[in-house]
Amino acid sequence: MTDTLTTARAPRVTSRRRDTGETSVELRLDLDGSGRADVSTGLRFLDHMLDALARHARLDLTLRCQGDLDVDDHHTVEDCAIVLGGALDELLGERRGITRFGSAYAPLDEALARVVVDLSGRPWPEVDLGLRRERLGTVACENLTHFLQTLAIEGRMALHVDVLRGENDHHRAEAAFKALALALRQALASDGADSVPSTKGVLS
């Protein structure tokens, strides 16, 4: 069976809500946006990273989270990743007509990050940010790694993130999120067909 060229793509937009005893998260995501972000999580550094992700991936993202920040930042960071990753997975569906693979380098001054992504339907995170500080703003550095790991699991993607160099941890983290954005932008793009980009004929 030959590929059928698509003339118009259905809107890839969804809204989600997640309420637990720890957080309340609301999200709207448009995979074919212009990079507009309206994010408020109570964690300004996380907001900054998600703004960079949306802007450079050309996603339109609205995200609101009220979390138990009196405990710590873990639940807020994790649940935002759960909701965002789940929304990505939902919008990809059978993953027809997408490029599937993406890779990118992004520098920020002395820092350089590399991200490779495969929207394979099989979750596998490999994340090495190499951060040395305990926190950036009010976000524990270990939770930035956890965010990316959780995003890969919930989005059902293979995600390899490596920060190759950099002395400033803010620069290292931001370079990683920008490289992720650029890689996702590639992987989410249309390949001009309506087939599943796999020799198996299915991605799961």
Quick: pLDDT tens for 35-55.
999 999 999 999 999 999 999
Q: Where is average pLDDT lowest: 1-5, 25-29, 41-45?
A: 1-5
Going by pLDDT thresholds of 50, 70 and 90, the confidence category of residue 10 is confident
Full-model pTM = 0.91
58 phi, psi to nearest 5 deg? 60, 40
Q: Answer whether 81's CB lies under 8 Å from 154's CB.
A: yes
pLDDT of amino acid 201? 53
Q: Answer whether 12's CB lies under 8 Å from 32's CB.
A: yes
CA angle 152, 158, 161 (to 5 degrees): 75
Q: Which domain holds residue 167?
A: 13-188
Q: Is 137 domain-assigned?
A: yes
SS3 labels along 141-157: HHHHHHHHHHHHHHHCC
Q: Is 170 domain-assigned?
A: yes
Distance of alpha carbon 153 from the chain centroid: 11
**Once rounded to an integer, what is the mean pLDDT over residues 5-19?**
81
Q: Is 94 domain-assigned?
A: yes
Share of the chain above pLDDT 70, in %: 90
Share of the chain above pLDDT 90, in %: 85
Q: Is 199 domain-assigned?
A: no
CATH number at residue 99: 3.30.230.40
Going by pLDDT thresholds of 50, 70 and 90, the confidence category of residue 199 is very low
Q: Is 2 domain-assigned?
A: no
Q: Answer whether 43's CB lies under 8 Å from 77's CB.
A: yes
Helix (H, G, I), strand (E, B) or coil at 54: helix
Q: Is 121 domain-assigned?
A: yes
Q: To which residue do tokens 């930042």 refer?
A: 73
Q: Distance between CA atoms of 7 and 26, rounded to whole angstroms?
A: 32
**How do residues 95-126 score in pLDDT, each as one tens digit?**
988 999 999 999 999 999 999 999 999 999 99
Dihedral of alpha carbons 98, 173, 53, 18, sign: positive
Q: Is 194 domain-assigned?
A: no
Q: Is 8 domain-assigned?
A: no
**Once rounded to an integer, what is the mean pLDDT over residues 173-178?**
98
Amino acid at 34: S
Q: Answer whether 188's CB lies under 8 Å from 98's CB.
A: yes
Q: Answer whether 41's CB lies under 8 Å from 53's CB.
A: no
**How do residues 142-157 score in pLDDT, each as one tens digit?**
999 999 999 999 999 9
> Which ranges of the chain would DSSP assign to H, the alpha helix?
44-57, 74-92, 141-155, 169-188
**How do residues 122-141 score in pLDDT, each as one tens digit?**
999 999 999 999 999 999 99
How many structural domains does the chain have?
A: 1
